[in-house]
Amino acid sequence: MKIAGLDIGTTGCKLTVFDPDGKNLGHSYRDYPVKRGKSEHEVDAQAIMGSVMEVIRDMAEKYPDIAGIGVTSFGETFVMTDENGTPLHRAMLYTDPRGKEECSGLLEKMDGKSIASITGLKPHEMYSFCKIMWIKKNRPEIYGKAKHIFLMQDYVVFALTGRAQIDYSLATRTMAFDITSLKWSREMFDLAGIDMDLMSEPVPTGTSAGPVRLEISSATGLAPDTQIVSVSHDQIAAAVGAGVFDSDKAVDGAGTVECLTPIYDQIPELEVMYDGNYAVVPYVIPGKYVCYAFSYTGGALIQWCVDTLAKKEKELAKEQGISVNSLLEGDADEPTGLLVLPHFAGAATPYMDTGSKGVIVGLTTDTTVSEIYRACMEGVVYEMMLNMECLEDSGLHFEMLHATGGGAHSKVWMQMKADMLNVPITALNTVDAGTVGSAMLTGIAVGCFRNLEDAAAHMVEKKEVYRPRQQMHEKYEEIYKRYRKLYKAVRPLM
């Protein structure tokens, strides 16, 4: 028996297969085009489904005994379909500028804090609901034909099984889901004039939608009894894949985007969450919630530094037979003293300011590329220190971080984070925690694992623990006092 995790991303999808002991047996990936114009950011949902079918065929040919496939996806993006699940338009991405007026219209009917108290989200046009309202107003012929409104997870689950269901965490990304009652909010739908019956049935994270349809079995090679599981929004799957289930731990997602995901034993203080633009999301464990504190540029900033500034260092690293990252990290063990505002793709939490820009302060003619590289690493972590400070009054009290993603393989960055954040960090071997989390929940759904703890014992592999050094923490704290002033100092100039 095998279990698999299907991760549907913005530009591609990947299906990874595991054996019952948690061993990664391989994966198949397909990408699909995204159209980004001045006024439209869209993806073809049918192209996504075509790629999903291809990766399933690839892996079912190698492993015909796949017992279940868990489906995770990126959030917000939705598509309206007919009764058979055939899309009526190109799916609107969360970055699509349409929906801004509709968001303002909602706020004229209900204040933002009241909406956040229901949905766990500070109102913003990025969420599905505002764009659904835009379709109804500007494309009434499409809305009039619609029999379903799907996000990408439930769109794929419906195509594979014929069942329209969406897990709680992804439903939250619409800005129309009640995070307390765990149901669609009648008040929000009435406010917007949207038919709630078009939405999929909300179900707990990790709920099986049943076996694949016979035609899917025939087209892909999957066994007719292969279960399809509605897993979650991709960030929730990553938290599960990191083995973090209690509030004494949090996830450090050290990927392209830097994301800190703490766990709460109950709904956190919503006033604090609202002020810091933090989403409150139901977790896989009933009664628990998470939030996302993130920077758009984590590993992306490090890669920018390598690609833009380290051309000579790339050649030197090649001559020495080491990675350019290792060369740039060096053996320095002191703060650089430089300040890097990591807003090279805009500011995420707590500002949510897309107009903010990246800044490097403190350069001299003696500054080296290696120092700028390490300062970029520091800047990402200073931004997380800022987020932790903003979340202090929300009930945050984790004592350990579990680090996933490519950044978890850097010993220098992991020790730097432990020193700066003043918490121990356990680096995991898992780079793709979302896929692992998806497979863990799928394994529970098909009876491969007893529960989350059993699944984690099989699939979450700890590599090394990095402990904070008090002397180093104090040095970083002094520099952080300056960093806290950086955004307000430079933002009026940009």
pLDDT at residue 10 in the model:
87
- Residue found under tokens 């896989």: 284
| Count of residues in the chain | 494
18 dihedral zone (left: phi>0; alpha: psi -120 to 50; beta):
beta
The three-state (H, E, C) secondary structure of the chain, written as one string: CEEEEEEECCCEEEEEEECCCCCEEEEEEEECCEEECCCCEEECHHHHHHHHHHHHHHHHHHCCCEEEEEEEECCCCEEEECCCCCECCCEECCCCCCCHHHHHHHHHHCCHHHHHHHHCCCCCCCCHHHHHHHHHHHCHHHHHHCCEEEEHHHHHHHHHHCCCEEEHHHHHCCCCEECCCCEECHHHHHHHCCCHHHECEEECCCEEEEECCHHHHHHHCCCCCCEEEEEEEHHHHHHHHCCCCCCCEEEEEECCCEEEEEEECCCCCHHHHHHCCCCEEECCCCCCEEECEEECCCHHHHHHHHHHHCHHHHHHHHHHCCCHHHHHHCCCCCCCCCEEECCECEECCCCCECCCCCEEECCCCCCCHHHHHHHHHHHHHHHHHHHHHHCHHHCCCCCEEEEECHHHHCHHHHHHHHHHHCCCEEEECCCCHHHHHHHHHHHHHCCCCCCHHHHHHHHCCEEEEECCCHHHHHHHHHHHHHHCCHHHHHHHHC
Please say whether the beta carbons of 148 and 96 come within 8 A: no
Please say whether the beta carbons of 235 and 405 come within 8 A: no
Cis check for the bond before 468: say yes or no (omega within 30 of 0). no
Cα–Cα distance list, 353 to 276, 279, 296, 465 (Å):
12, 15, 11, 34
Q: Is the dihedral of CA 343, 344, 348, 352 positive or negative?
A: positive
Quote the CA–CA distance of 23 and 2 in Å, as a whole number.
10
Cα–Cα distance list, 451 to 206, 234, 401 (Å):
11, 20, 22
Please say whether the beta carbons of 264 and 255 come within 8 A: no
pLDDT at residue 262 in the model:
96
Closest CA to 291 of 243, 235, 253: 235
Please state, as a whole number, how many other Cβ atoms lie within 10 Å of the Cβ of residue 141. 9
Residues 6+ apart with CB under 8 A from 392: none
| pLDDT tens digit at each of 494 positions of the chain | 899 999 998 889 999 999 988 899 999 999 998 888 878 899 999 999 999 999 999 999 999 999 999 999 999 999 999 999 999 999 999 888 899 999 999 999 999 999 999 999 999 998 999 999 999 999 999 999 999 999 999 999 999 999 999 999 999 999 999 999 999 999 999 999 999 999 999 999 999 999 999 999 999 999 999 999 999 998 899 999 999 999 999 999 988 889 999 999 999 989 999 999 999 999 999 999 999 999 999 999 999 999 999 999 999 999 999 999 999 998 888 999 999 999 999 999 999 998 899 999 999 999 999 999 999 999 999 999 999 999 988 988 899 999 998 889 999 999 999 999 999 999 998 778 888 999 999 999 999 999 999 999 999 999 999 999 999 999 999 999 999 999 999 999 98
| 296 exposure class (CB count in 10 Å sphere: 0-12, 13-18, 19+) | buried
Please state, as a whole number, how many other Cβ atoms lie within 10 Å of the Cβ of residue 360. 16
Please say whether the beta carbons of 404 and 242 come within 8 A: yes
| 475 exposure class (CB count in 10 Å sphere: 0-12, 13-18, 19+) | middle
- Residue found under tokens 């003043």: 422
